[in-house]
Amino acid sequence: MSNSKAELRAKALAARDALSEKKRTAAAAKLAKRGLPFPLLPGSIVSGYSPIRSEIDPLPLMKALAEAGARLALPCVTARGQSLIFRIFHPNDRLMLGPLGIPEPSPAASEVIPDIMLTPLAAFDRLGHRIGYGAGHYDHTFAHLRKAKQIVGIGLAFAAQEIKAVPALSHDVALDYVLTESDVFDFRSSEVAHSLRG
């Protein structure tokens, strides 16, 4: 099982890596222009992520959501197998490198629990399952934080990262939505809704 997951991850990441800079920038702009597939409640805390490797850049969408009244946060890694923590973030804040070399807010920034988590991924399927990078940070985080409050999980990806089926394990947490440059996938209903928004 883990082998096939690793193979699927490698294949999806290769497809993502192959996208041109122009396509990446255009895709991030499309996500920002389209916004969320539901009304944003004023004061909602939206966590994004600092894009690494060839991940789709959530910052244009995060800035648009901040203009619509969201408070922004970014994840901070504590330890492998542990839940992420989230700190308040403003788009012009200086970030520092966390333990995995990913830019994070300063430890002085307030810790918050997001209402909406924009989640990076390597691959996803039409049931809302995602493949991450194997450390389980987001699965642990969703499982841990959802004990305290309902959190909407939204995967951000390029359409090229869609795969037929993710071999999901019992501890894998499905997403509520996946947004790509061409589609909005809504996984909250029993019949998976798929709408093309262009």
Residue by residue, DSSP assigns 170-185 as TTPPPPSEEE-SSEEE
CA distance to 51, 82, 96, 105, per residue, from 108 (Å): 22, 20, 11, 8
| pLDDT confidence bin for 92, thresholds 50/70/90 | confident
Residue 197: per-residue pLDDT: 43
Other Cβ atoms within 10 Å of 164 Cβ, number: 8
What residues contact 94, with CB distance under 8 A and at least 6 apart?
106
CA distance to 120, 128, 193, per residue, from 165 (Å): 18, 10, 16
Mean pLDDT confidence for 34-54: 95
From CA 78, how far away is CA 153, in angstroms rounded? 20
